[in-house]
Structure 1
Amino acid sequence: MTVGGDPTARAVERIGPAEPDVTAAAADLMAGLATTPWGQVSPSVYETGRLVALAPWLAGHARRLDFLVAAQRPDGGWGGPDGYAVVPTLSATDALLAELRRSGGGHARTDLARAADRGLAALSLLADELDDRAIPDMPAADLIAAALVESIDRSLAAPVPGVAGGGRPRTPRGLDGAGRLAAVRAMLGAGTAPPEKLLHALEAVGGDARGVPAARPGPTGIVGASPAATAAWLGEKAPDPEDPARRFLETVVEQYGGPVPCGLPITVFERAWVISTLVRAGIDVTVPPTVLSSLRQALNPAGTPAGEGLPADADTTAGALYALGLLGLPFRLDGLEPYRREEHFCTWQGEDGFSVSTNAHVLEAFGQYLVRHPDSPPRITEVVPGLAALLLDHQRDDGSWHDRWHASPYYATACCALALGRFGGGRGRPAVRRAVRWLLTTQRADGSWGRWEGTPEETAYAMQVLLLVGPGDGACQAAGARGYAYLARSASSGEDGPALWHDKDLYRPAAIVRAAVLAAVRLARLESGVMVRAGDDAPIGR
């Protein structure tokens, strides 16, 4: 989705001194934050499949079926490579089987049956080929997989018209969440409120989600910042047209044309990331008053959620604080205190696992605060060296970092290297140099960077590290120039790039990705050739 055309394409469509184009594109991007307040997120096979199965009454049902059939891969699966295919393939296959079992009309039923058969075959191969190491760390993946295997098994208990069957699906190793799913269902059945983070995947409990008091929709009708969770709460029968939850779903469907994203809204998260990325690269931006006020109003001592329906988290809180700090506005750090642990900051209360990118963003928030308040007490000043040491401990031998919120090590490496380059002091510099070496050795022949293939998003992350915190030598400049040429070529092709961010399904936050590309373009185009190095107080610029 774009606002007024693709500003990234306009920003890199020609090589040369086109700094005003970058500024104009950034202005378009900032305007889009205000006009599309829920966020700009790619549609999800997983979430769209759940709506097909759970809410056939919702407008756009036929378009969602078309989307699923068109998105199927040649091998019969859906979604990203390797383990990233499990959840979307389960969801799409379950949705098609549910549709085929419904009486009436034939929405190209032969095509649906063929796609369902191919999906079942793909699931069988995935279960055989994947081991625990190939399963990505995605939210509620074990609950979702267990629920969908169970649902597909029920659908295949009797013959499905046009579907050969080919055996029942099995849950891949590493995603056996049947016991946890039963515990969540028992919790809801007893009237006990589940952890707030589970509401984002409420659809996993199926019919048990209908009308659950603990999941009552928010002011705009949203349950768990998720169309699927909202649909599960409403149930399979069409609710009153004036029901706020139904209106939320219809608004999302109208915005996306049928298919839906897996997380919406992402208001605060999107705005914080876009602002900080642009300002850190020295791009002159005017933040719309509504956008700025939304960041300020979202902050509170308990932390800040990415959007309505989600629990507060340290990552979004830190991102919002850092954005305000880069804009030169005062802020307090108390919203991060609930997430402080002995050696790190958790992403949310009760987090299973650990995120280096969350801790890198917390380092930036504390570091930016200390730029204006250097005489702060030890409880604040001690955080910066502590988090810097933590990030150093998690750097891989090759110089990269990996994280649970993104499929690509280039994202995690950019988060950690940029934070260490600015606030890591003397201990951070060797780690940044190792990251730079890794980036220089992994650049592709066409000038791009990428985990599976070269992408504009991952290329932008690599270029920001090289041009913001790299040593400023000829190797970094030459690699940045090759990356810039790749961005110019990719913009002319009109390709959006793959979904790489972790939610229940891989997703692409379009505005955030465009901001990263614009930042890389700006840095590569600095006409004077003089940049303020990381660690200086002045912003990057001429």
Structure 2
Amino acid sequence: MTALLDRQADIGAAAARTVDFLLARQDPGGSWRDFLLPAGLSDSWVTAYTAEALLGDGEDTAPRAAAERAWRFLREHSLPEGGWSYNPGVPGDADSSLWALRLADGLAQAESPTARRGFAFLARHVRPDGGLATYADPAAIRGYVGLPAFISFDGWTQSHACVSAAGAHLAPHADTLAPYLLDRQADDGSWPAYFWFDREYATSEAVRALAKLDATAHRPAIERATGWLIRRTSLLAAAQGAIRPAFALACATHALAEASDQADARRAARAGAAALAVWQRDTGGWGPTARLRVPPPHAIDPPEDVRWTRWQGMPADAPASLEGLAATFTNFSPDHRGIFGAATALRALRAVTKGAAA
């Protein structure tokens, strides 16, 4: 019993250090910035995701104040057509918008004019198959990227499981997105992630959304996902190396703590949280472990037969042609400032702490 209490205390202390890490890195204007892709740093999307994680600390004054500052930033940087984007220089997208709306919902701002425009913008991204596309129309993003009309953007304008799963946490979209998510679940219990290397992200968002909507009706899907997540947690928590897979482990841990009432799932969640606490750096973060990728816009599935390269800027010898533009795809960026991964870990640590107290 003493060992269990000590572990719970370690997990709680790790969560508190994560909060301090995130609060210390919020810009005076209310934003957080992370990732580095051809579009630059992300602020709107990362700010929404991070603030929503901090808001989960309930009425704790400092995290809530930070979330409110973030909402003011997002309100000021919402797009004229409604919604939000990776950063204000990029056309609006569903993923950035849904995270801002999840924050608005948590702050009781879902009925505000800004959020109403955001919900209307998000609704335009629902595809005929019931899922959410990252981009509703190729025209704006095509113009931003600079590709000619004969290049297909079908990959970026199709439904994406990773985006749909996160959007299913919004009440106006939960019922319509659930059938799509159930249809997209893989045989092994996971969900695919178009913009992420780690399926744990999409799987965590999907299974938690389904459990929140109707745990009884969706039990078969939840149990399949739970089995996959338990196996993944065991493998991830045992990882060695200079940079541990904290982002993927945090996603899996969060899902097991919230979506399943199975004893083995709770044990796996506690083990995952304990590993996160051990891996945490003195700064309160984990380093760059969330890997965001950019498939070519025509790719229906992210290509597996290419070498993904970390984006370091346009190569000096890249030609000013389609070949040069191609260099901006099949690349990835880790969360080099560690903000996104820390926000994800905070969700996981908090979920395990709450489960232990229940």
Aligned pairs for 1:279-290 within 5 A: 279-280=55-56, 284=60, 285-288=63-66, 289-290=68-69
Distance in 1 separating the partners of 2:126 and 2:235: 43
Query: Aligned match of 2:339 in 479, 504, 511?
Result: 511
Query: Aligned match of 1:420 in 200, 210, 218?
Result: 210
Distance 1:16 1:529, change over 3 A: closer
Distance 1:449 1:338, change over 3 A: farther
Query: Aligned match of 2:274 in 466, 485, 493?
Result: 485
Distance 1:30 1:263, change over 3 A: farther
1:407 CA displacement: 0.5
Distance in 2 separating the partners of 1:449 and 1:434: 23
> 2:268 is aligned with what amino acid?
A
- Look up the SS of the partner of 1:311 in the other structure: coil
Aligned pairs for 1:92-111 within 5 A: none
Distance 1:394 1:424, change over 3 A: farther
> 1:511 is aligned with what amino acid?
I
- Look up the SS of the partner of 1:501 in the other structure: strand
- Look up the SS of the partner of 1:506 in the other structure: strand
* 1:108-131 C-alpha deviation (Å, 9 max, x unpaired): xxxxxxxxxxxxxxxxxxxxxxxx
Aligned to 1:32: 25
1:20 CA displacement: 6.1
1:37 CA displacement: 6.5
What are structure 2's unaligned runs of at least 5 residues? Answer: 1-5, 139-152, 295-328
1:448 CA displacement: 4.9
Distance 1:267 1:328, change over 3 A: same
Contact kept, 8 Å, 1:279 with 1:326, in 2: the verdict is yes
- Look up the SS of the partner of 1:364 in the other structure: coil
Aligned to 2:191: 401
Distance in 1 separating the partners of 2:131 and 2:343: 28
* 1:475-511 C-alpha deviation (Å, 9 max, x unpaired): 1221122212221222259862545211342212321
Verify: 1:501 aligned to 2:280, yes or no: no
Residue correspondences, number = 282
* 1:382-436 C-alpha deviation (Å, 9 max, x unpaired): x432210000000000100111110011111112112222235643332122111
Distance 1:402 1:294, change over 3 A: same
> 1:466 is aligned with what amino acid?
L
Greater shift, 461-470 or 337-346, is seen at 337-346
Verify: 1:352 aligned to 2:171, yes or no: no
Verify: 1:17 aligned to 2:9, yes or no: yes
Query: Aligned match of 2:53 in 277, 285, 288?
Result: 277
Verify: 1:268 aligned to 2:44, yes or no: yes
> 2:75 is aligned with what amino acid?
R
Aligned to 2:166: 361
- Look up the SS of the partner of 2:27 in the other structure: helix
1:17 CA displacement: 2.2
Q: Which has the higher contact order (CA 8 A, sep 6+)?
A: 2
- Alignment RMSD (CA, Å): 3.0
Contact kept, 8 Å, 1:400 with 1:409, in 2: the verdict is yes
Contact kept, 8 Å, 1:38 with 1:264, in 2: the verdict is no
Verify: 1:523 aligned to 2:348, yes or no: no
Contact kept, 8 Å, 2:200 with 2:248, in 1: the verdict is yes
Contact kept, 8 Å, 2:289 with 2:334, in 1: the verdict is yes
Aligned to 1:335: 121
Aligned to 1:295: 74
What are structure 1's unaligned runs of at least 5 residues? Answer: 1-13, 44-260, 368-379, 531-542
Distance in 1 separating the partners of 2:288 and 2:41: 21
Aligned pairs for 1:235-250 within 5 A: none
Distance 1:436 1:280, change over 3 A: farther
Aligned to 1:440: 230
Identity percentage over the alignment?
Answer: 22
- Look up the SS of the partner of 1:296 in the other structure: helix
Distance in 1 separating the partners of 2:87 and 2:49: 13
Distance 1:419 1:297, change over 3 A: farther
- Look up the SS of the partner of 1:502 in the other structure: strand
Q: Which has the larger radius of gyration?
A: 1
1:358 CA displacement: 1.4
- Look up the SS of the partner of 1:396 in the other structure: coil
1:337 CA displacement: 2.7
